[in-house]
């Protein structure tokens, strides 16, 4: 099936934006995305035209929401303040990034894993978890694609098994999250109804989740685009470009989108100059 996307949409930038750890580029130039038990193979085939392996129903009900295609990101980029040259450059270079609407449990675990790890190392640990505890979704290019394991699928995970996934000191945090969700003490879907601050505090009740991880989960799982996580890269930007001030708060509900533009920009420049 061929779909048309007229707004900002760059698959390469999306998979390298730091917000997702399973999507990747395949050897034939197409891109693989996974959410729940669904997977998508998508490839640009012309200007604003993309070939996808799904049917129209899945495209409309799964992938349009996943890629946040009902939001106009080109218009959001135009809201960058004209006196902020660094943000203008970041948004220009990063045009095409969108905030994906990702699985809540997957984001909770992925961002617990993310602490003090490089993006390639996070991806490696996540895939090891999937192949060990997830279930088979499909076979793509002679490779088996696994789901991200549910809390129930991980309920019997041992310390040794989790450590073998490269989790290090995070093993106890992962086990606490599994127990918390399986026990019914935390209902991730029901928490959608909470306001940002209440949700933020609820997430921090899980061991190993501090401010940065909680804000990442809010942004990338609950689509609270007003949240702009501050990691070491963003902290450096704030110090070197904004006199220690947070430049995102002035953008209100679009602060998290601006943060992603800046994060991608500095990650790919590997220096602020």
| CA pair distance 159, 82, nearest whole angstrom | 52
pLDDT of residue 225: 98
pLDDT of residue 228: 97
pLDDT of residue 273: 53
Sequence-separated (6 or more) residues with CB below 8 Å from residue 170: 112, 113, 115, 208
Instruction: List b or e across 211-224, with b for residues whose CB sees 16 or more CB atoms inside 10 angstroms.
Output: ebbbbbbbbbbbbb
Task: Return the CATH number of the domain spanning residue range 2-93.
Answer: 3.30.310.260
The dihedrals phi and psi of 29, each to the nearest 5 degrees, come to 90, -5
Considering the entire predicted model, what is its pTM?
0.94
State how far the alpha carbon of 18 is from the alpha carbons of 179, 194, 231, 263, in Å. Answer: 27, 26, 12, 8
Spans of all domains in the chain: 2-93, 104-220
Helices (H), the chain: 11-15, 56-58, 64-66, 73-77, 85-93, 104-113, 119-133, 159-163, 171-182, 196-203, 211-220, 232-241, 255-269
Instruction: Say if CB 205 and CB 189 are below 8 A apart.
Output: no
Q: Residue 65, CB half-sphere, CA atoms under 13 Å: how many?
A: 12
| CA pair distance 66, 61, nearest whole angstrom | 9
State how far the alpha carbon of 227 is from the alpha carbons of 22, 48, 214, 241, in Å. Answer: 22, 30, 10, 20
Of the candidates 21, 32, 24, 12, the one whose C-alpha atom is nearest the C-alpha of residue 165 is 21
| CA pair distance 74, 36, nearest whole angstrom | 28
Read off the DSSP letter of residue 141.
T
Instruction: Say if CB 200 and CB 218 are below 8 A apart.
Output: yes
Encoded tokens for 74: 């080109």
pLDDT beneath 70: ranges in the chain = 270-273
pLDDT per position as a tens digit, 27-62: 999 999 999 999 999 999 999 999 999 999 999 999
pLDDT of residue 11: 98
Task: Return the CATH number of the domain spanning residue range 104-220.
Answer: 1.10.340.30
pLDDT of residue 270: 57
């Amino acid at each position: 099936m061929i779909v048309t996307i007229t707004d900002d949409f760059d698959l390469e930038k999306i998979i390298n934006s730091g917000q997702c750890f399973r999507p990747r580029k395949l050897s034939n130039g197409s891109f693989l995305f996974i959410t729940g038990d669904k997977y998508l193979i998508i490839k640009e085939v012309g200007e604003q035209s993309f070939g996808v392996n799904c049917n129209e129903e899945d495209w409309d009900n799964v992938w349009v929401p996943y890629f946040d295609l009902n939001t106009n990101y080109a218009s959001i980029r135009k809201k960058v303040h004209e006196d902020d040259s660094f943000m203008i450059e970041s948004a220009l270079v990063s045009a095409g990034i969108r905030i994906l609407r990702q699985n809540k449990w997957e984001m909770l675990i992925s961002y617990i894993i993310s602490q003090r790890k490089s993006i390639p190392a996070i991806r490696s640990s996540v895939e090891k978890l999937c192949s060990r505890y997830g279930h088979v979704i499909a076979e793509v290019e002679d490779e088996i694609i696994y789901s991200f394991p549910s809390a129930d699928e991980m309920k019997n995970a041992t310390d040794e098994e989790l450590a073998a996934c490269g989790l290090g000191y995070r093993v106890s945090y992962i086990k606490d999250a599994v127990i918390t969700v399986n026990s019914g003490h935390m209902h991730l879907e029901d928490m959608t109804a909470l306001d940002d601050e209440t949700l933020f505090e609820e997430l921090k009740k899980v061991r190993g989740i501090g401010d940065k991880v909680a804000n990442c989960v809010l942004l990338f799982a609950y689509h609270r685009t007003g949240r702009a996580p501050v990691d070491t890269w963003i902290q450096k930007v704030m110090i070197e470009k904004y006199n220690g001030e947070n430049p995102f708060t002035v953008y209100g509900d679009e602060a998290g989108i601006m943060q992603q533009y800046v994060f991608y920009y500095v990650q790919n420049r590997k220096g602020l100059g």
